Each structure stands twice: as C-alpha cells, then as structure tokens.
Amino acid sequence: MIFANRSYAILNIELQRVGAEPGPQALSMLDLGNPTLDWTMLATGMGVEAVRVKTIDEFSAAFASAMAQTGPRLMEVAL
C-alpha cells in the first residue's frame, strides 16, 4: 500500500512548528506532485497487479480482492 498525499507533509508540519515561512521555491521541494508519479503504472510495468482507490468502499473491495489472491499487489490510496 502506498498512501499518496503527494507531499512531504511531516516536513511541512515541522516547518510550521519552528515558525519557518519558506518561499515558493522551498515549498516546491516538498511537493511530490510535480510530476505526479503514477504508482499503478509503475507497478504494472514491472508485472505487478495494481489499483488506485479513492474511497473507503473502493479500499475495502480492493483489499478484500488482494487478500483473496496470492502474489504481489500494489494498492495506491489517494489521500
């Protein structure tokens, strides 16, 4: 499972805690959305079955499916 929030969120929190006010260039280095990584395509390209889920219902169905099968699976959870 990859929980994809497209950001180094913990680093943003730490910057806030110390009172730092980074500029746009510094913030861009904490952004994992440019370019957006397509984890499911990367996995598929390596022969691993993959799915992206966006809702709890999709998550439940994909997780149940993965647990009912053998072999590797990748599940990207969009946050």
- Per-domain residue ranges for the chain? 2-78
pLDDT along the chain (79 residues), means of 10: 87 90 86 88 97 98 97 95
Give pLDDT, residue 44. 97
Amino acid identity, residue 74? Answer: L
pLDDT of the residue at 36:
87
The percent helix, strand, coil of the chain (3-state, each to 5) is 40, 25, 35
pLDDT at 45: 98
Long-range contacts of 8-13 (CB under 8 A, 24+ apart): 8/32
Instruction: Give the pLDDT of residue 32.
Output: 83
> Domain 2-78 falls in which CATH fold?
Rossmann fold (3.40.50)
| 45: its two tokens | 């390209």
